[in-house]
């Protein structure tokens, strides 16, 4: 999915879509929930949910998950 399509998605749709990718990467819903709430070096030790709630954060988190899933964010 390209950046324009991610922007057009509603916030809950985007988070659900990201959670699907995270579940594939992490293995369990519990680990996905922990990922959202845990400090992450990619976000200067902020949790992904903290970044998500910041200006421009949704795109940062989505790009990070896509990089981890596919090796790029295009």
Give Cα 5 distance to the centre of its chain. 15
Average pLDDT, the chain: 87
pLDDT value for 67: 92
pLDDT value for 71: 84
Burial track 25-51 (b if 16+ CB lie within 10 A, e otherwise):
ebeeeeebeebbeeebeebeebbbbbb
**DSSP label of 40:** B
pLDDT (tens digit, 9 = 90+) per residue, 3-34? 555 455 567 899 999 999 999 999 999 999 99
**Over residues 48-71, mean pLDDT:** 94
pLDDT value for 61: 97
- Which residue range forms the structural domain that includes residue 46? 3-70
Into how many domains does the chain fold?
1
């Amino acid at each position: 999915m390209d950046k324009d399509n991610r922007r057009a998605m509603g916030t809950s749709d985007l988070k659900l879509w990201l959670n699907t990718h995270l579940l594939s990467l992490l293995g369990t819903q519990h680990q996905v929930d922990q990922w959202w709430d845990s400090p992450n070096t990619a976000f200067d030790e902020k949790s992904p949910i903290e970044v998500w709630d910041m200006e421009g954060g949704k795109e940062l988190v989505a790009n990070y998950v896509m990089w981890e899933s596919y090796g790029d964010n295009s």
